[in-house]
């Protein structure tokens, strides 16, 4: 059985967390790396998983959490395409 074909959600989240950590290091080198944890969103329409890492970086980035989240998403996707 191919291990990539049978990735469990935990394994996928772990891979995404590593990719996100690399993006954070490149984009915000002045910031301490925040812990990356996932949880179920309070509202189901927001998806299956959520993290508050953008809130953790917002002060150092001097930007709104939503802007930080957008940058993190765009850069993480671009670097791991």
In terms of CATH architecture, what is 9-79? 2-Layer Sandwich (3.30)
Contact between 26 and 74 (Cβ < 8 Å): no
pLDDT at 76: 96
Model pTM score: 0.83
pLDDT of the chain, 81 residues: tens digit per residue: 445 556 678 899 999 999 999 999 999 999 998 999 999 999 999 999 999 999 999 999 999 999 999 999 999 999 988
Pair of tokens at residue 28: 């915000």
CB 31 within 8 A of CB 24: yes
Write the secondary structure of the chain as one string of H (helix), E (strand) and C (coil): CCCCCCCCHHHHHHHHHHHHHHHHHHHCCCCCCCCCCCECCCCHHHCCCECCHHHHHHHHHCCCHHHHHHHHHHHHHHHCC
């Amino acid at each position: 059985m191919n291990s990539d074909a049978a990735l469990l959600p935990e394994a996928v989240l772990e891979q995404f967390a590593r990719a996100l950590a690399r993006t954070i290091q490149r984009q915000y080198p002045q910031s301490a790396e925040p812990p990356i944890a996932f949880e179920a969103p309070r509202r189901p329409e927001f998806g299956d998983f959520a993290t508050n890492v953008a809130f953790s970086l917002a002060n150092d980035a001097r930007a709104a959490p939503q802007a930080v989240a957008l940058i993190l998403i765009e850069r993480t996707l671009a670097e791991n395409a």
